[in-house]
Amino acid sequence: MLRCAWCMKKIRDEKPVFGLSVKFAEGIEYSESEGMIIQIGLHSRNTSVPMIVTARESKAKLQGTDGIFALCSEKCGVKMRDTLTKELSTFREIKDISLQ
């Protein structure tokens, strides 16, 4: 079961899941964790949150997405995006929040 990367609530199967796609900064790579959920550190929040690393041949990866944060609501997505834009050492591009 997925957890919201912002509020950490479990996202039940029947509930909509929002995704926030990101591109990693230069030199950041999680190729060993492709297709898996890893904990990624957020310096500005002093915590780690779950992130899905896109698999090499996946549609998302081919569209330039390196990682996806799962979120329970658009509200959490907006807060997450605000935080990620401060994490410049890890992310160089934060894309739109989309319904998955």
Over the window 2 to 41, marking each residue x when it contacts Zn ion by CB under 5 A and - when it does not, the resulting string is: --x-xx----------------------------------
Distance CA 85, CA 62 (A): 22
Closest C-alpha to 63, from 35, 26, 22, 6? 22
Interface with Zn ion (CB under 5 A), residue from 51, 76, 84, 94: 76
According to the binding rule CB under 5 A, does residue 69 interact with Zn ion?
A: no
User: Residue type at 93?
Assistant: E
Contact positions vs Zn ion (CB under 5 A): 4, 6-7, 72, 76
